[in-house]
Copies of this chain bind each other. A is one copy, B any other.
């Protein structure tokens, strides 16, 4: 059942022994949303605990600074920023059929909860949680403001992407008024690279090759680069955006070598070009701006297939 903010606020006010779930490979939005809810509900005297299939990265630990560990059998289960129960992961998939309330901003949300409070126009799920906390009469203090701000800035690329609405900016302004440590959060989220990231980024940059008069480029991330740099998966997050940033490039691909063989391909496109049109040729999909697919084969053959597909696409677009 789809519900509105007042009903979601009422359900949370009534709830007790609340379990809050984040999606696997948790990011700033799912964690900021969960931490804000846990903090606010514990502040109302309720028993609350948090669960996620994957560990919380150190840079997000501060969000949970005021959440106390509680032990109980959950009576009310909330899922935040989870578009599909497949994103719960191994540790929490046991709850997939008994989620009471889902709070989410993904247009692609597959309704799985008894009650769903969805706002596809919100830049982040924390932006919705902010509305929810206000509807619940919760005072948004510095700690809550930091949780909400973290989701808002990470999901908008620090207010850079097209999902940055006027409303999102006004919420961010309210959060700064509430004491959010915005500049420090931005520094940690956007201006910090691990040494392994620095090394793998340099090697990946070196691998960039241009095709189609510089309108298409391909970057590689090989197992050898990962080993030589000591990079983990978390170190290469967002790296696929890099080749598209090069001046003159309309479509960019990143080839990530897979342990099981073949390559995971991430394609990025500048409007009006369509990354998903390229990936569809290889059985993949996604959005116009960002799409993905898997291509089996050796490195040079995979590159060649990509270059040919993009060339054919450009011809079809009159380039």
Contact = CB atoms under 8 A, between A and B. Distances in A.
Interface of A: 158-162, 164-167, 169-170, 172-174, 176-177, 182-183, 186-187, 190-195, 198, 201-202, 205-206, 208, 214, 241, 244-248, 270
A173 B167 contact: yes
Shortest beta-carbon contacts, A-B, top 4? A162-B183, A169-B173, A166-B173, A166-B176
A66 B173 CA distance: 31
Contacts of A246: 192-195, 198
A183 B169 CA distance: 13
Contact of A241 (B169, B182, B191, B214): B191
Contacts of A195: 214, 246-248
A164 B182 contact: yes
Nearest to A167: B173
A172 B160 CA distance: 12
A244 B205 CA distance: 20
Given A172-B169, A198-B208, A247 B160 contact: no
A192 B245 CA distance: 4
Contact of A169 (B170, B186, B206, B244): B170
Interface of A is mostly: helix
Contacts of A214: 195
Contacts of A193: 245-247
Nearest to A210: B195
Contacts of A245: 191-193
Contact of A183 (B158, B161, B187): B161
Given A166-B174, A167-B173, 5 more contacts: A162-B183, A165-B176, A195-B246, A198-B246, A202-B206
Contacts of A194: 246-247
Contact of A160 (B161, B186, B205, B248): B186
Contacts of A191: 160, 241, 244-245
A41 to B, nearest CB: 27
Contacts of A241: 191
A270 B183 CA distance: 12
A198 B205 contact: yes
Contacts of A248: 195
A19 to B, nearest CB: 33
A32 to B, nearest CB: 17
A247 B165 contact: no
5 contacts: A159-B172, A164-B176, A170-B170, A192-B245, A193-B246
Contacts of A170: 169-170, 173
